[in-house]
Structures are given as structure tokens and as C-alpha cells.
Amino acid sequence: MTVFLVRHGRLLGDELDPAGFDDVWALRDRLPQGAAWFCAPEPATVATCQLLTEADAGILPGLRDSGPDEPAVALRERVAGTVAGLQRENPGRDLVLVGHRSAWVALAGAVAEPLGTPGVIELPDALGSAG
């Protein structure tokens, strides 16, 4: 099982910038279309997910961006717990998770620091002990 962490596309205000749609579509070849797909509830992550797959995707509050008063430890625990639950519910299946850089840095640490907009990080079975 591989977990693919996808950062949403380029923003224009709070929405996806249509000028960046080609950048999002370019990621499709890097992602397994047969995977289980999930995204954070914010409009940019939902729209990015819709550009990347025709599959049904779950919208999960546990993948949302950090809140203004949410400590880094709480963000990591929330995101890691959500991902661990998804792994248990989808044994042996690849996961594609569309969200925000802050959530992916909290989860994957330094490996997520250089993540572009949009961008993908592959974590082959790296989160098995995250939850």
C-alpha cells in the first residue's frame, strides 16, 4: 500500500486558479486511479480532487488545514489518526489524499517541506505506525 499525499492546486483567493488547472491535470499520470480517494473539506482540496479523478472521493474533516489556534502536535495527531483509520478501513489498497501542505508536513515531516503547488509525495507503507 502506498499513500499519496497531494497538495491542492494554485489558489486565486480561496478558490483554485483556473490558470493552474493544467498543473493539476499533469499529476493524474502519477496517481493510481484505482486507489481509495479522500480529501479535506476546503473548496480548493475538493476541486483539486475533482480535477484528478472521476472516482468517488470521501471528504474528511480530519484532513483539513490547521486551525489558527491548533498546536502542531494536535494537527499531527488529528491527521495521523485520520490516515491510520483510512489504512485500517482500506487494507492493502493505495490511498490518495488531497489536502494542504501544513497537514502533510505535520504528517510526513521534512519530506513534505519542499512540496510544490500542486504536488505529490508518495509514502510506501510509511504510515503503518502513524496511528
What CATH number is given to the structural domain containing 111?
3.40.50.1240
**pTM of the entire structure?**
0.91
Within-domain flag for 129: no
Within-domain flag for 116: yes
Domain count, the chain: 1
Within-domain flag for 92: yes
Within-domain flag for 107: yes
pLDDT classification of 21: cutoffs 50, 70, 90: very high
pLDDT in tens, 51-93: 999 999 999 999 999 988 999 999 999 999 999 999 999 998 9
Length of the chain: 131
Work out the percent of the chain whose per-residue pLDDT is above 70.
95
Q: Which residues of 10-49 are buried (b: 16+ CB within 10 A; e: fewer)?
A: beeeeebeeebbebbeebeeebeeebbbbbbebebbbbbb
Look at residues 88, 86, 106 and name the one whose alpha carbon lies nearest to residue 97. Answer: 86
More confident of the two residues 112 and 36: 36
What residues make up the domain containing 62? 2-124
Within-domain flag for 24: yes
Within-domain flag for 131: no
